[in-house]
């Protein structure tokens, strides 16, 4: 029996109550024009193309913006829904270097405005305020790999570079942390509470957001926010609730679909729409985690 796995990406979100770390990718507003066309090759990814064209791996959102604008009027261009997923043969629209630079500068301006609203003049001011502090990060602790990554690749780095102690607090149920915040608020604790940062899911984010207990908006004040596509509904909303800068993405999780080629052939549905159609056409042959499961 041959099993094949198909991966679907889903944003993992983080929200901060007092302090935060930094995220990943970007977009800009307005119309852009094509300076040149590029056809995606088998070993291409957007940041690689951006580095080749602009000399800057982080200028790839300009290619996304220009390509999607071009696709609106010319279906020979690809439509890029997820910058992490591009396919060989796609035709991309690459704007002029000046237009790409505008995206970066506009993102920097938005970051400065949000920093000012939080009472800081610059990111250096944020680092100075954080120097010597401890951050209590409450997060699901069920993965040794993720725990080690947070402790070493994040915790050790922020300690060495910024003199910040990252205290990872493992939990089994994020709702228990939310209840802790709600209880402290009800007891009149308005600052200096026990929870600084939470790796959170949509329902719990919505609970804290509606209670007005989240710090921010802060997300666009982060240096790497210029690389985040805030127009992507998967990032702009969580559990159907607008994020509005009170939550920041910090990674991706993969959902795996396996199928037995002896039963369904060599090809499986490649889109969610095709998968839904296949499930309806083949009752009783598709299974998934129960809804109470965290990833169900």
The predicted structure's pLDDT at residue 157:
93
In the structure, how many helices (H) and strands (E) does the chain have? 11, 9
- In the chain, where are the structural domains located? 9-24+110-253, 36-95
36-95 under CATH 3.10.350.10, yes or no: yes
Q: pLDDT-based confidence at 29, cuts 50/70/90?
A: very low
| Across 252-271, average pLDDT | 77
Residue 36 has pLDDT above 90, yes or no: yes
Identify which of 10-19, 78-87, 197-206 has the greatest average pLDDT: 197-206
Average pLDDT along the chain: 83
| Each residue's pLDDT tens digit, 231-242 | 788 888 988 899
Q: What angle, rounded to 10 degrees, do the helices at 97-117 and 60-71 form?
A: 110
CATH fold for the domain made of 9-24+110-253: D-Maltodextrin-Binding Protein; domain 2 (3.40.190)
Comparing 50-59, 155-164, 179-188, 283-292, the range with the smallest average pLDDT is: 283-292
| Across 215-233, average pLDDT | 83
| Each residue's pLDDT tens digit, 78-109 | 999 878 789 999 999 999 998 888 876 776 67
Residue 282 has pLDDT above 50, yes or no: yes
The predicted structure's pLDDT at residue 167:
98
Residue 1 has pLDDT above 50, yes or no: no
CA-CA distance, 161 to 164, in Å (whole number)?
8
Q: Is the dihedral of CA 219, 225, 226, 228 positive or negative?
A: negative
CA-CA distance, 60 to 45, in Å (whole number)?
9
| Across 167-196, average pLDDT | 95
Share of the chain above pLDDT 90, in %: 48
Q: Phi and psi for 54 in degrees, rounded to 5?
A: -105, -10
The predicted structure's pLDDT at residue 253:
66
Does this model's pTM top 0.85? My answer is: no
């Amino acid at each position: 029996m041959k099993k094949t796995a198909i991966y679907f990406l889903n944003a993992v979100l983080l929200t901060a109550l007092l302090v935060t770390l930094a995220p990943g990718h970007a977009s800009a507003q307005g119309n852009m024009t094509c300076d040149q066309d590029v056809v995606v090759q088998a070993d291409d990814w957007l940041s690689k193309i951006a580095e080749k064209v602009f000399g800057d791996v982080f200028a790839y959102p300009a290619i996304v913006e220009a390509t999607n604008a071009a696709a609106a009027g010319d279906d020979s261009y690809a439509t890029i829904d997820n910058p992490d997923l591009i396919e060989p043969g796609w035709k991309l629209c690459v704007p002029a270097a000046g237009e790409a630079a505008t995206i970066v500068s506009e993102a920097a301006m938005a970051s400065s405005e949000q920093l000012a609203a939080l009472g800081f003049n610059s990111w250096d001011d944020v680092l100075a305020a954080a120097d010597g502090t401890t951050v209590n990060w409450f997060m699901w602790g069920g993965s040794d790999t993720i725990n080690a990554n947070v402790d070493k690749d994040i915790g050790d780095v922020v300690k060495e570079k910024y003199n910040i102690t990252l205290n990872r607090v493992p939990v089994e149920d994020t709702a228990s942390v939310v209840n802790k915040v709600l209880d402290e608020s009800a007891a009149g604790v308005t600052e200096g509470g026990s929870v600084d940062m939470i790796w959170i899911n949509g329902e719990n984010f919505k609970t804290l957001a509606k209670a007005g207990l989240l710090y921010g908006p802060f997300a666009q004040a982060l240096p790497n926010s210029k690389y985040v596509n805030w127009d992507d509904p998967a990032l702009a909303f969580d559990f159907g609730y607008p994020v509005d800068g009170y939550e920041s993405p910090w990674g991706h999780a993969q959902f795996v679909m396996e199928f037995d080629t002896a039963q369904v052939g060599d090809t499986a549905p490649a889109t969610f729409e095709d998968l839904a159609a296949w499930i309806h056409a083949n009752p009783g042959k598709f299974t998934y985690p129960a809804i109470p499961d965290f990833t169900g």
